[in-house]
Structure 1
Amino acid sequence: MPPEPLTRQQTDEALAGLPGWTTDGDSVARTYSFAKHLPAAAMVIHVAAIQEEMNHHSEMSLGYNKLSVTVNTHSVGGQVTELDIALARRIEDVAPGHGGS
Structure 2
Amino acid sequence: MIQKLTSDERTQQLAKLHRWESVAERDAIRRTFEFADFNEAFGFMTRVAIKAQEMDHHPEWFNVYNKVDITLSTHEANGVTERDIALATFIDSVTT
TM-score, normalized by the shorter chain, greater than 0.5: yes
Residues 1-101 of structure 1 correspond to what in structure 2 (within 5 A)? 2-24=1-23, 26-77=27-78, 79-96=79-96
Among the aligned pairs, what percent are the same residue?
37
Residues 4-62 of structure 1: CA deviation (Å, up to 9, x unaligned): 11011111110101121001250011001111111001111111001001011110111
Q: How far apart in 1 are the matches of 2:55 and 2:47?
A: 13
SS at match of 2:18: coil
SS at match of 1:3: coil
In the TM superposition, residue 92 of structure 1 has moved relative to its aligned partner by 0.6
Please report the TM-score for the alignment, with normalisation by the length of structure 2.
0.92
Superposed structure 1 runs of 4+ greater than 4 Å apart:
none
Unaligned stretches of 5+ residues in structure 1: 97-101
| Number of residue pairs aligned between Structure 1 and Structure 2 | 94
Q: Name the counterpart of 1:99.
A: none
Unaligned stretches of 5+ residues in structure 2: none
Letter in 2 for 1:74: H
Please report the TM-score for the alignment, with normalisation by the length of structure 1.
0.88
